[in-house]
Every structure is written in C-alpha cells, then in structure tokens.
Chains A and B, each alone.
Chain A
Amino acid sequence: MKAVETRSLRHTYPARSNAKPGMALKGIDFSVEPGEVFGFLGPNGSGKTTLFKILSTLIEPSEGTAFIFGCDVVKNVDEARKKMGIVFQYPSLDKMLTVEENLTSQGHLYGLSGAPLKKRVEEMMDRFGLTPRRGESVQHLSGGYRRRVELAKGLIHSPELLILDEPSTGLDPAARREFWETIGALKKKNGMTVLVTTHMGEEGDKCDRLAIMYEGEIIATGTPDELKSGIGGDVITIHSGQPDALLDTIDTKFGVRPVLLDGVIRMELPRGHEMIPKIVEAFPGKITAISMGKPTLEDVFVHKTGRMLWLAGEGADAPKEAKGE
C-alpha cells in the first residue's frame, strides 16, 4: 500500500473566497512509499499549500481523489485523520496554555486520555527537550522551541505519516538544522513517512524524493540527484554592471545561450572551468563577480521554468534571453 497517493487532483477556489480565485491545482498525480521523506518544491502560488490543505483534510478537492494509507481523505476522513500528524506553516499552539497543556489537549482530540496519554506526553517532552519548560506558557518560548512543541503536538498520537507545510519558516539556521535532524531520526527510528512542502532548494536536497511544482502542476519528480543530472555539466553565474551588453556578446562569441534572471547572467554548459577565463578576458572591467558550481535544485527549477524559485510566485517578469540565434 502507498503511504500517500493522489489521482488527478484538481482544485479551483470559488470567486468569493479569500484565496486567489482560479485553478490552484491542475491535475496532480503522485505517490509516496511508506518510509520515504517526500518533498514538494515550488515557489509561493505554485499550489503546494493547496495540496497540503487537501491532504490534511482542511479543504476538499474540487475533483480527483487522495488517499492516506488507503483511506480516502473525503469519504473516509476520520480514518485518514487518525493516520497523520500535521504541522502547519503558521503556529497552531494555544499561546495561553503551557507546553504540557497544549500536548495534553491535542491528545484528547485524538482520543487519548488518562495514564497512556500522560506517558505519551512525557515521552514527547523528553524527546524534544521540552521537559524543563513543560510548565511555561507557550507565548514565552522562542521560535525554535515553539516549532518543537508543534512537532511534538503533531506526533502525539503516533501517526504513520507526518505532513509539514513550510516547516522551517521563521527558523534560524541552527534551528533549521536541528529540525531536519529530527526528521531524519523519525524516518530512521520509526520508519515514519514524511511529506514536506518547501520553497528552498537546500531543503529539497534533504528529501529522498521530490516533486517540483509550478503553476498548479508537478513539472518533474525524482531524487535530488536524478533531477540535477538532467542539467549537463556546470552552472556559471555572472554579476555585472551592464548585464544586457554581455548577454548578446556571450551568445555570438561563445555559442552559449545565457539567461538574465534577477539581474544575474546564468548559463548551463559542460566543462565550465574552461569557459571562465575566456569570459573574464573578453569583458575586461565589466564583470564584478563570476562563479561556477554543480547544478542545485534551484538550477533545476530555473532550467524547467525559466524563473527563479523565490521570485516565480510574485509575478516576476519573464526571463530575458539573448536575442541572436
């Protein structure tokens, strides 16, 4: 049985809703194996939050079906809900309650009570290093600690699947690292299936497999390595005061088609190290910085969509390409 499976999932927001009206999901098909850490990588507005809301049973899809360990999220919603723990992008804690009270009341909602619940709450506080702060009201905790309480809350009923929406929003790098270590441990020790949405390429790298989303569709699926191997060779980026002037010349002189994105010239090519001295010599004084690297997931996204991951959702202009053929 698949941990998560969807069949031609579509969603259209009604015209009067708070969300942007129109089709947010245009037929999503994917499946996740038990024990996998699966990521959805895409910019804001790519539909991943809508997908998260459907899987977490917050909204019903307009068309299509989704299954959590074989349970239909619409027809068999209670069973599906029991199988998953959900961590929202925005906090879901009651700030006036203590750490322990938050976990206890969450346990009640999942049918736990009495001694078994008490034991489970102790276990969770222990596991996330919350025991010393159990009696503190949540409003006095730092962002990192609150995120730990959110995680503990999502795991209180020992779910088989954990779903997280943009989990590292608002976390500093140390807290983010700690968070991903926890996810790794959950997978390893408990064989937990984890589904996570993100708009950050480096988070996508932590997943076993991921789907890249853009404008309500999945445009690529695979392991991070598989996705990156779709780009041949190296990626060179050039910062310059006059990027437009450089763009055409690079094309005619070297036969590579660079792309200008967010003021930065970017090109993919094999054996990039040979090209760098040539470019630097061709434009004396015009280049402020030039760098070369192996493709990242960010590059995969640019390659597939022609847009930058963090800009794509905000109505960015289409990328400018060199005019010559």
Chain B
Amino acid sequence: MPRRRPKVNNLMLAVWSLWRREMVRFYRDRSRVIGGLVPPVIFWFFIGSGLSGSFSVGSGDTALNYRQYFFPGTLVLIFLFTAVFSTISIIEDRREGFLQSVLVAPVPRMAIVLGKLFGSASLAFLQGMPFFIAAPFIGLHLTLSSLLISLFILFGVAFSLAGVGFFIAWRMDSTQGFHAIMNMGLIPLWLLSGALFPIHNIPGWLAMLVRLNPLTYSIAALQHELFPPGAIPDLPPLGFCVAVIVIFSLATLCAAVFITQRGRDQ
C-alpha cells in the first residue's frame, strides 16, 4: 500500500510536480524563450532612443532620460506578457487531454491553480531577468534592498496577471479567443499604468482610470526602487503600493480557484 501523507504535503507535492512539468515543457520548447523577451526589448530600445531628445523628467541629479524612464514599464511588459500567455497552456492541456487526469486525481483544485501560477511566474522570471540585470548599464543604480524589493514586486506582477490569465483561459476552448481577449484587456491596462508616460500631470478623467489600475502601483513601486528619490513627483507611498500588489495577487488567486470549483458540470 502507498504511504499515506498528510493533506498539506499532498498539496505541496502536487503543486511542485505540476510546476516542474511547466519548467520541463518550457525547456523542451525553447522557441518560446525568444518570443517573450525580444519584442519588448526592441520596443524599449527604439521608442526609448527616439524620444530621448524630447523627453525629460526631473532635473539636475535626478534627471531621467526616456530610456531610463521607460525601463520599469518595459520590465513589467515582459513579465506581464510572459505570465499571461503562459497560462494559455491550460487550454492546450484541456484539448490534449492531460488536464482530465489531473481533474480526477485526489488533489484539491488549488494545486492545479498554484502549480500553473508559480509555473507562469517562474517563466516570467526566466524571460525578464536578462533585461532586469541590464539596469546598471543604462545608469539605474540598484542596492541590495532595492533589488530584493523589485524582485518581489515583479513576482507580484507575474503571479497576479497569471491569475487573471488562468481565470479567462479555464473556460475557453480556443487559444485564438484567449489572445484576442487578453490583448484587448492588457494593452490598456499597461498603457494606463505610468509605464509609457508620467501620470502626475494628466487630465482628471484619465488620472481616475490610472488610479483604479492595479498595475499603476507596480510601476510606481519599481520607480521608487530604481529611480533616484524625488525623480517622479507625487508617487504613492511604497507601503501602499506593496499592499495593493499583495491584495491584487490574493484576489486573482481566489478568482482562479473559484472558477475551477465550478468546473464539474460540463
């Protein structure tokens, strides 16, 4: 007879196993590596270079050129796209049949969600880190604490957006539909987060949308950590940003678990 383990261990074992599967699959399909990383970097390089002459924030010691300003936004873009689009594998798992054997196994649905979300977040790190470590080369200075806080924030971005992706993908049959929906939702979310332009001086109706956008606080937190103090006026306090990120991550996790609970009546 197989050894009986406590429930929590079983959950962690299943999460670990499903996470590991995501890593192995990614490793065996290496063309995916290029897809997530290169377009945002090209985007960053051309837009950053093109706008360098006509854009500046701050003055004196705290002045930023556009390549520097656009750096956190690009970083978030890489994490966000990789995390969200790796949850598309839920649709493939369902179509190829793998998912059905997980659904009838004696593990809570939470294990499926956590395995996928940690998997997506890990992939985002694999893709985003090469760009992140380039920060010192464009004049952005990192201390150990700002590095750790930035990594935590980026993990939050990847984990929560993967939760959103999971929630949408669970009920979908086609990967094309998923692409359409996510592009429609994600691009505005990213545009209205302060990733592309500073938000301290924009019209009131737009400022309202920006303030409601959870991604705004990820960008703001990264600006706290990567830019010299005072470079961007009127940033929300770091503690508040971190709180928003944590709450948003938990909320999307709950939503993803919730949608899987309803899945037994098809």
* Cβ–Cβ contact A111 & B10, under 8 A: yes
Of the candidates A17, A97, A113, the one whose C-beta lies within 8 Å of that of B21 is A97
Binds B, one of A83-91, A173-181, A260-268: A83-91
Which residues 75-127 in A have Cβ within 8 Å of B in the complex? 77-79, 81-82, 86, 88, 90-97, 101, 104-106, 108-113, 116, 120
* Cβ–Cβ contact B101 & A86, under 8 A: yes
In the assembled complex, the Cα of A90 lies from the Cα of B4 at a distance in Å of 30
Of the candidates B1, B5, B18, B100, the one whose C-beta lies within 8 Å of that of A58 is B100
Of the candidates A86, A94, A109, the one whose C-beta lies within 8 Å of that of B14 is A109
Binds A, one of B22-30, B62-70, B192-200: B22-30
List residues of chain B with CB within 8 A of the CB of A93: 97-98
* Cβ–Cβ contact A91 & B2, under 8 A: no
The answer to whether the Cβ of A158 comes within 8 Å of any Cβ in the partner chain is yes
* Cβ–Cβ contact A105 & B21, under 8 A: yes
The answer to whether the Cβ of B265 comes within 8 Å of any Cβ in the partner chain is yes
Which residues 16-41 in B have Cβ within 8 Å of A in the complex? 16-18, 20-21, 24-25, 28-29
List residues of chain B with CB within 8 A of the CB of A109: 14, 17, 101-102, 105-107
* Cβ–Cβ contact A106 & B264, under 8 A: no
* Cβ–Cβ contact A94 & B265, under 8 A: no
The answer to whether the Cβ of B54 comes within 8 Å of any Cβ in the partner chain is no
The answer to whether the Cβ of A14 comes within 8 Å of any Cβ in the partner chain is yes
Least Cβ distance of A197 to chain B in Å? Answer: 15
Given A93-B98, A96-B24, A97-B21, A110-B2 contact (CB < 8 Å): yes
In the assembled complex, the Cα of A157 lies from the Cα of B100 at a distance in Å of 17
In the assembled complex, the Cα of A99 lies from the Cα of B81 at a distance in Å of 32
* Cβ–Cβ contact B21 & A94, under 8 A: yes
* Cβ–Cβ contact A81 & B105, under 8 A: yes
The answer to whether the Cβ of A193 comes within 8 Å of any Cβ in the partner chain is no
In the assembled complex, the Cα of A17 lies from the Cα of B24 at a distance in Å of 34
* Cβ–Cβ contact A92 & B28, under 8 A: no
* Cβ–Cβ contact B2 & A94, under 8 A: no
The answer to whether the Cβ of A59 comes within 8 Å of any Cβ in the partner chain is yes
The answer to whether the Cβ of B104 comes within 8 Å of any Cβ in the partner chain is yes
Number of B interface residues at 8 Å Cβ cutoff, please give it. Answer: 32
Least Cβ distance of B93 to chain A in Å? Answer: 8
List residues of chain B with CB within 8 A of the CB of A110: 2, 105-106
The answer to whether the Cβ of B234 comes within 8 Å of any Cβ in the partner chain is no
* Cβ–Cβ contact B14 & A92, under 8 A: no
List residues of chain B with CB within 8 A of the CB of A91: 96-97
In the assembled complex, the Cα of A59 lies from the Cα of B102 at a distance in Å of 14
* Cβ–Cβ contact B13 & A111, under 8 A: yes
Given A14-B265, A116-B3, A58-B103 contact (CB < 8 Å): yes
* Cβ–Cβ contact B28 & A96, under 8 A: yes
List residues of chain A with CB within 8 A of the CB of B14: 108-109
Given A58-B104, A82-B106, A108-B17, A90-B264 contact (CB < 8 Å): no
Q: For the A-B complex with A96-B25, A105-B20, A111-B3 known, give 12 more contacts whose Cβ atoms are closer than 8 Å.
A: A17-B266, A58-B264, A77-B106, A81-B106, A88-B100, A88-B101, A90-B100, A96-B28, A108-B14, A109-B101, A109-B105, A113-B13
3 smallest beta-carbon distances between A and B, as pairs: A108-B17, A109-B105, A81-B106
CB-defined A-B contacts under 8 Å, sample of 16: A81-B105, A86-B101, A90-B97, A92-B97, A94-B25, A94-B96, A95-B96, A96-B24, A101-B21, A104-B17, A105-B20, A106-B105, A109-B14, A109-B107, A111-B2, A153-B101
